[in-house]
Structure 1
Amino acid sequence: MSFVLVQVIVGGLLLGAVYALFSSGLTLVWGMMNIVNFAHGDFVMLGMYVAYVVYTLMGGGPILGAPLATLVLATLGVIVYFGLIRDIMKGPMLAQILGTFGLALLLRYSVFWWFGANFLSMPQDIVGGTFAVAGLRIEASRLLAGVVALLVTFGLHLLLTRTSLGSKMLAVAEDATAAQLMGIRPDTMQAIAWAIAAGATGLAGALIANFFYIVPTVGETLAIVAFVTVSLGGFGSVPGALVAGLLIGVIESLSGYLIGAVYKDIVVYVLFLFFLWFRPQGLMGKM
């Protein structure tokens, strides 16, 4: 296997780890409340703009921008839950779809109004340029994004499976009424889930802002990636989102290298539909 091909695969894994990070938030919200957040991609977009503002106003890189974007989006997640989600959860599925879709439009066109429609970008060498490892040339910004995303996604899985807070959140996901009888406040747990999910999108957005284009409509593309990742991994499964994100990242990179960048999305979606034909519950989902 040539060094170029190995480099393409490594790049795909690093990008796939970021896909897994912001997709894990979507699968967490679904697992907790059976609600699909159509504004999820726009949360990632906001994280990118927070990182851009931090760089523009303070000259700070991801070390400053990523934590701030995580905090801002986590706060927004709590506000959205109490201001919108808690009420529309009581209504039909159509209300949930239209409510989160309307939120996506609100966020997107608010950014249009404030920043305009121009494509923005940040210096690719803001983290440290490019360096060589075992003959492979890797951008420091992509390596940082991939490693941090991988660690945070794994940490989220540990939070849900190895902590008291995670047990309470899973109990609410299983049966909110029974959990309330045991002294657990469903509202609090669901608000925390939204804070974690939105915070993960903010972190992912700040990390990819260093090598991805920044524009108000980028959330549309990222939302599709998130839905494909969650569906492929299995709704409600964080490990499934991680595996699916890595797979999609590698498939995208290999398709772009072997066939052409124009066709990489087609390859991903064709393989995705082909896989779901045989396993509709996803890699780690339950029937």
Structure 2
Amino acid sequence: MSIVLVQVIVGGLLLGAVYALFSSGLTLVWGMMNVVNFAHGDFVMLGMYVAYVVYTLLGGGPLLGAPLATLVLATLGIVVYFGLIRDVMKGPMLAQILGTFGLALLLRYSVFWWFGANFLSLPGDLVGGTFDVFGIRIEASRLLAGIVALLVTFGLHLLLTRTTLGSRMLAVAEDSTAAQLMGIRPDSMQAIAWAIAAGATGLAGALIATFFYVVPTVGETLGIVAFVTVSLGGFGSVPGALIAGLLIGVIESLSGYLIGAVYKDMVVYALFLGFLWFRPQGLMGKT
């Protein structure tokens, strides 16, 4: 295997880890509340803009922008839950779809109004230069994004499976009425879930802002990636989102290298549809 091909695969894994990070928030919300958040990609977009504002106003890089983006988006997640989701959950699924889709348009066009439609970017060397490991050249910004994304996604899985908070959240997901009888407040657990999900998108957005274009419509592209990742991994499964994100990142990178960048999305979606034909519940979804 050539060094270039190995480099492409490593780059795909690092990008796929970021895909997994912001997709895990989508699968968490679905697993707890059966709510499909069509504004999820626009949350990532807001995280990117927070990183951009931090850089332009304060001169700070991801080490400052990422925590701030996480905090801002986590706060937004709580506001969205109490201001919108808690009420639309009482209605039919169509109300949830239209409600979150309307939220996506509101966020997108608010950013259009504030920042304009121009493509923005952060300096590629904001994090550092390029590492050369056994002949494989890796950009520091991509390496940082990939490693942090992997650690946070793994941490989210441990939170859900190894902590009291995670047990309470899963109890609400299984049966909110029974959980309430046991002294658990469903409202609080669901608000925390939205804060975690939105915070993960903010972190992911800030991490990829150094090597991805920043524009109000980027949320559309990233939202589709999140839905494909979650569907492939299995709705409600964080480990499934991690595996699927890594697979999609590698397939994207290899397709762009071997066939051409213009065809990489076509390859990903064709393989995705082919896989769902045989296993519609996804890799780790429940039957």
Q: Same fold (TM over 0.5)?
A: yes
Q: How does 1:156-167 map to 2 (within 5 A)?
A: 156-167=156-167
Distance 2:56 2:42 in 1: 21
Shift of 1:164: 0.1
Shift of 1:131: 1.6
Larger deviation, residues 122-131 vs 192-201: 122-131
Q: Secondary structure of 1:282's match?
A: coil
Residue matched to 1:246: 246
Deviations 1:43-64, CA, capped at 9 Å, x for gaps = 0000000000000000000000
Q: Secondary structure of 1:38's match?
A: coil
Shift of 1:87: 0.1
Shift of 1:274: 0.3
Is residue 32 from structure 1 mapped to residue 32 from structure 2 by the alignment?
yes
Shift of 1:102: 0.1
Residue matched to 1:198: 198
Question: Given the two structures, how large is their TM-score scaled by the length of structure 1?
Answer: 1.00
Distance 1:127 1:46 in 2: 20
Q: Secondary structure of 1:251's match?
A: helix
Shift of 1:215: 0.1
Distance 2:124 2:17 in 1: 19
Question: Given the two structures, how large is their TM-score scaled by the length of structure 2?
Answer: 1.00
Q: Secondary structure of 1:132's match?
A: strand
Q: Secondary structure of 1:236's match?
A: coil
Residue matched to 2:284: 284
Distance 1:56 1:38 in 2: 29
Residue matched to 2:154: 154
Deviations 1:10-36, CA, capped at 9 Å, x for gaps = 000000000000000000000000000
Distance 1:220 1:266 in 2: 16
Distance 2:234 2:195 in 1: 22
Q: How does 1:65-214 map to 2 (within 5 A)?
A: 65-214=65-214
Shift of 1:134: 1.1
Q: Secondary structure of 2:132's match?
A: strand
Shift of 1:99: 0.1
Distance 1:275 1:92 in 2: 30
Shift of 1:199: 0.0
Distance 1:59 1:219 in 2: 24
Deviations 1:179-212, CA, capped at 9 Å, x for gaps = 0000000000000000000000000000000000
Q: Secondary structure of 2:7's match?
A: helix
Larger deviation, residues 131-140 vs 17-26: 131-140
Residue matched to 2:16: 16
Deviations 1:100-144, CA, capped at 9 Å, x for gaps = 000000000000000000000000000011120111000000000
> Structure 1: 5+ residue runs without aligned partners?
none
Distance 1:221 1:59 in 2: 28
Distance 1:238 1:84 in 2: 25
Deviations 1:61-111, CA, capped at 9 Å, x for gaps = 000000000000000000000000000000000000000000000000000
Distance 2:16 2:168 in 1: 29
Q: Secondary structure of 2:27's match?
A: helix
Distance 1:197 1:190 in 2: 10
Distance 2:148 2:264 in 1: 25
Shift of 1:38: 0.1
Q: Secondary structure of 2:246's match?
A: helix
Q: Secondary structure of 1:131's match?
A: strand
Distance 1:9 1:106 in 2: 37
Distance 1:144 1:131 in 2: 11
> Structure 2: 5+ residue runs without aligned partners?
none
Distance 1:141 1:263 in 2: 25
Deviations 1:143-183, CA, capped at 9 Å, x for gaps = 00000000000000000000000000000000000000000
Q: Alpha carbon RMSD of aligned pairs, Å?
A: 0.2
Q: Secondary structure of 2:131's match?
A: strand
Moved over 3 A (4+): none
Distance 2:62 2:68 in 1: 9
